[in-house]
Amino acid sequence: MTTIRSLLLRASLLTVVLVTVWSAPALDAQGTLIGPVVSLDRKVIEPGDRVVLNIDGFESMNVTISVCGNEARRGSVDCNMYASEGLKLDTDGTSTVIQIPVAAPPAPCPCVIRVSNRTFDEIAIAPITLIGHPVAPVVDSPGQDGALDVTISAQSTPRGLFARARTSLGGPATYEVTVTVKNTSSVPLGAVSLAGTVGRSDDQLAALAFDDPGQLAPGRTWQQVVTADVPGPSLGTLQWRVDASGAGPTVTALGSTRERPTLLIILVLFLIADVFLLAIRFTMRRRAAREAAPASAGPTADVPAGDDSWTDADAAGELVPSR
């Protein structure tokens, strides 16, 4: 039993050392652009001309196509909604191609062709030059919200058996962190920068190395997945944060993950149980030793009181009658 326990303890210590110093390397992914997009066969158009649109990237099945002035900054009020066209997109995974007439918008240029779904959470915009249409400075909506929608999420992704055991023992943990930045405005954004951190309560543990999204067209979403190595102990809740600046007020996104070192908990419980069993064995041995002590002295013969007919025969204690 002692040999088995010793081997288990040595194996546990060896596992802790190996998983603490070894882990597989991970590579960060480059940022990618996803979301709706629309392209035109030409961008200089006269009112009443027809233009060919190539529409792709929408999740919604139905969209509305409108010609808008003022870069559609104030929404549908800048668009010719009476001449808008509804369209059901192709469902075979290919782009949808359609030709539409270009009607003059109610607002002056800069002009765009806007493709949007019913809830306006998916939108694609293509700028056009509308010959003969008035041009005026852009007017923003007084109640316009921020131009960015930012999210962050993290998932524990240890690579390999040793890295997984290392995290389960409470050591450093590896996470895949996904950040998305969506341009919810009707104009391109080109100066967005990101800064990310991970921490526990008010203690910052690591910085997240995100790229800058670069040029972000209206309605497009930039996404990147990076690897973050968080130092131990892997216990409790981690707070993930990313700040996006450069397009109006800074937008902050938060996320959280919770780590539980299962293998470390099992190892501690095993050690507690082992100490408990040792204490029981020690107690049982002491009790057995106390019970065996009186028996080792041997039995004592009784001599009748007042009887002188018995004398000691020898030093060994044998009693014989006297003559």
Cβ-Cβ contacts under 8 Å for 231 (sequence gap 6 or more):
172, 205, 206
- Tokens at 90, concatenated: 């192709």
Instruction: Report the alpha-carbon distance of residue 58 to residue 42 in Å, rounded.
Output: 22
Of the given ranges (29-38, 166-175, 202-211), which has the lowest mean pLDDT? 166-175
Most confident segment among 23-27, 111-115, 139-143, 144-148 = 111-115
Query: Do 40-130 and 2-30+146-263 fall under one CATH topology?
Result: yes
Q: What are phi and psi of 79, to 5 degrees?
A: -110, 155
Instruction: Report the alpha-carbon distance of residue 323 to residue 309 in Å, rounded.
Output: 8
Residue 237: pLDDT band by 50, 70, 90 thresholds?
confident
Residue 33: pLDDT band by 50, 70, 90 thresholds?
confident
Give me the residue spans of the domains in the chain: 2-30+146-263, 40-130
Average of per-residue pLDDT values in the chain: 79
Cβ-Cβ contacts under 8 Å for 184 (sequence gap 6 or more):
123, 145, 146, 147, 148, 149, 219
Q: Could you tell me the fold of the domain covering 2-30+146-263? A: Immunoglobulin-like (2.60.40)
Q: Cis peptide leading into 231, omega within 30 of 0?
A: no
Which of residues 165 and 278 earns the better pLDDT score?
A: 278
Instruction: Report the CATH architecture of 40-130.
Output: Sandwich (2.60)
> Residue 212's Cα: distance from chain center in Å?
20
Instruction: Report the alpha-carbon distance of residue 248 to residue 310 in Å, rounded.
Output: 119
Cβ-Cβ contacts under 8 Å for 86 (sequence gap 6 or more):
62, 63, 64, 65
